[in-house]
Each structure stands twice: as structure tokens, then as C-alpha cells.
Amino acid sequence: MGNQFKTLVLLATLSGLLIAISYWVIGGSTGLIIGIGLAAVTNLFSWYQSDKIALAVYRAQPVTEAQAPGLYRMVKKLSDRANIPIPGVYIVPGQTANAFATGRDPEHAAVAVTEGILQILPEDELEGVIAHELTHIINRDTLTQAVAATVAGAISFLAQMVSYSLWFGGGSRDDDRGGNPLGVLLTVLLAPVAATIIQLAISRTREFSADAGAARLTGNPRALARALQRLELTAKQLPLDGNPAFEPLLIINPISGQFLGNLFSSHPATDARVEQLLKLERELATTSY
């Protein structure tokens, strides 16, 4: 519940930032209305189109049970155990080892894995990865992350437009009709950074929740812990190319480190995730007796 509340607060803050920026830049009630409109449009767009965009970005191809029987059976078994519809099953071409889920709800969802991950993970570890992605679907994280990415993108786009206007003749604004000059400056300098930090904080929060959900779904937290360690090593050597806005969807992102690196990482440090999974393993062992 704590992670869900934190996510809600962060997402509300992100949308509020978009509305506030419009108010500062444009000024008055007009800016406020435009900001609310932008927030509504970007959220609606994310609701209906995010899954298609993410699958296209990574060139994911749908597969049937006949084409990938082992993978399909695993997704079906875990979906039945979680009591959700079987999502679309996709394979991403290439040797990179990674996976992601997308879709606005369990009835409109997809799970995608790379060819590389199918080659390097044993069955129990792959099961942990699939369970992690299904937990994202169950928790509606796929929609949350898509909305966060789209709103953050709208904020960055608005800031870029303001920057262009300042460079190309926007310096002689009428203060009575235009926006707050301080707001304009803060928009250009700070808004994209703030939006990115909030978006990535949302992603990190949801990863811990998905790890815990996967551990409970499979009953094998250690298998997912091993998978994360293995995937981090391979992802550093061969990262999955795509739009950075969709990196929060991936199960592993090798761009994580110390100090400010964690602030700008879409995922928690793998060591921290493994530690939480092993702690959960001990808790599950205790409650089983």
C-alpha cells in the first residue's frame, strides 16, 4: 500500500507540474486551462496508444502457441494462477536479454521477451521474469508508467518550445498579457529535469512492487534474484536499443549507479532488488511453517 500511495503522489505531482508550467508560462486562467487540457490529452493518449507504441519501438512480433509453445504455456500457467486473462505474447528480435509488459489493463495487455533472454535464462528464472511482468499488468503499472512518460514528455516539449521562443524573438513579452518571467526561466531550466526525476522515481517504486508480486506468484524469490543478476551482466554488454522514454518498462536497465546515478535511473540498483527478494524468501519460509 505504501508503494501505491507513493506512486499516486508522484503521478499527481507530475500532472500538477505540467499544469503549473502552463500557468507560469502563458499566465492567468488561460494558462491554467491549457495546462489542464494538456494533462488530460496526454493521459488519454497514453491510455489508448502506449501499448502499440512500446511494441513498435522495440520491434516486438506477436507469436502464437504453435510458434513458441514453451513461452506461451509459461505465460498461460502464470496468468491462470494470477486469475487474469492471457496477455498477448511477443518476441523482440536480437541477442539482448530483456523483457517488458505494456497495456492499459489486464484485458488489453502484452508481455514481450527478447530472443536473447529465452536463450540465457533457465526455466525457473524465466518464470520469475514473466511473473514480474504479469505483476506489472495486475498492478496497472504499465499504464502508470506510460502516463508518466507521456506527461514528462509533454513537459519537456513545452519547455523546449519556450526555449525556442526566447531565442527567436520571445524576449519582448508584455508582462500584463504574458506569463511570469520567473516561471518562464524555471520552465526552461528546471521543469524537464524535475519531470524526469519524478517519472523515474515512479518507475523505481513500481519495480520493487513487481519483484515482490512475482516472488509470491511463483513462490521462488531466489530464481528472480538470480535472473536479475544474470540480466544485469548481459544488459551492460548488450543493451536493448529503443526510445529512452520506454526504458522504465524494461525489467532491467544497466544505467544505474551510485550518488546521482540512482536519482536518474529508471530502476533501483539490482543489489537492492536482490536483497529485498532474499528477505522475502526468508519471510515466505517462516510463514510456511
* Cα-based angle 229, 233, 234 (whole degrees, multiple of 5): 115
* Pair 41, 51: CB distance under 8 Å: no
Catalytic residue ranges: 133
Neighbours of 189 (CB within 10 A): 12
Q: What is the C-alpha to C-alpha distance for residues 239 and 253, in angstroms, rounded to an integer?
A: 8
| Of 248, 269, 249, 251, residue with least CA distance to 259 | 269
The sign of the CA dihedral 237, 243, 248, 249 is negative
Neighbours of 33 (CB within 10 A): 14
Coil, helix or strand at residue 129: helix
The sign of the CA dihedral 43, 158, 257, 3 is negative
